Amino acid sequence: MKNLFLFIALIISTFLHSQELKNFTIPKNYEKILEVKGDLDKDGKEETVIIFNTNIKTKSEGLERKFYILKNISGNLKIWKENSTIIIDSKFGFYPTTNELNVMIKHNCLIISQHFFTNSRHSETSKYTFRFQNGDFYLIGVQHQLDDTCDYNVINEVNFSTGKVIIDEDYSTCDDEKTDIPKDFHKEIIHKFTTLIKMNGFRIGENKFKIPQSNKYFYY
């Protein structure tokens, strides 16, 4: 009898959920660039994530990018979540052809990785991990890397669930006469985060916290 009640509750929940979500149709003049599938809410069913170049021009003369997280309900794709603030535009960076985007679903998490050059030798790579919990998607992990072919390689990582933060900075030079090379820096700490950031409230680069016993900040 208990299993019957649970089964009925699941059917009712699915029905109500399907009534709330809007049907998905590809917006006019949107170009699909990526599509991945995987279970994001641990219900045993795959969600579909589709990323588009929109028809909205940006300051870099590229196109704004937007992604949709879709649920398959009774054979129909319905919009569960949508976001246009996390993925950089199609031409952001010094070399547009190397503006790389990778999206995957792993361990029930949505992982968005991006790579671009800011000049001929300096690149940035970022990875943002979001997990569905407590009724919404939250940012649970960040990895950010700054790489210069001559001067430095900096990797910052944070796990918001455990609070573990890793700062790793390696410095060098291609100039044999240069003597003022910064010292390498490595630090691992536990930082308390009072609240997690929701995916649709996250803006890249607008968050930071201070690294103890240093003049450095962790930006994300």
State the pLDDT at residue 175. Answer: 87
Q: What angle do CA 208, 59, 203 make, to 5 degrees?
A: 25
* Rounded Cα gap, residues 24 and 42, in angstroms: 22
The neighbouring-strand residues paired with 105 are 110
Q: Where are the beta strands (DSSP E) in the chain?
A: 22-23, 31-38, 47-57, 63-73, 76-83, 100-106, 109-117, 122-133, 136-148, 152-159, 164-171, 185-190, 208-210, 217-219
Element (H, E) at 13: helix 2-20
State the pLDDT at residue 140. Answer: 98
Backbone angles phi, psi at 11, to 5 degrees: -65, -45
**pLDDT 10s digit of each residue in the chain, 220 long?**
555 554 454 454 444 454 599 999 999 999 999 999 999 999 999 999 999 999 999 988 899 999 999 999 999 999 999 999 999 999 888 877 778 999 999 999 999 999 999 888 999 999 999 999 999 999 999 999 999 999 999 999 999 999 999 999 999 999 888 888 999 999 999 999 999 999 999 999 899 999 998 999 999 9
Residue pair 101/94 in contact (Cβ under 8 Å)? The answer is no
Exposure string of 176-188, with b = 16+ CB inside 10 Å and e = fewer, is eeeeeeeeeeeee
State the pLDDT at residue 58. Answer: 92
160: burial class by Cβ within 10 Å (0-12, 13-18, 19+)? buried
Q: How far is CA 46 from CA 82, 108, 155, 164, in A?
A: 17, 10, 33, 30
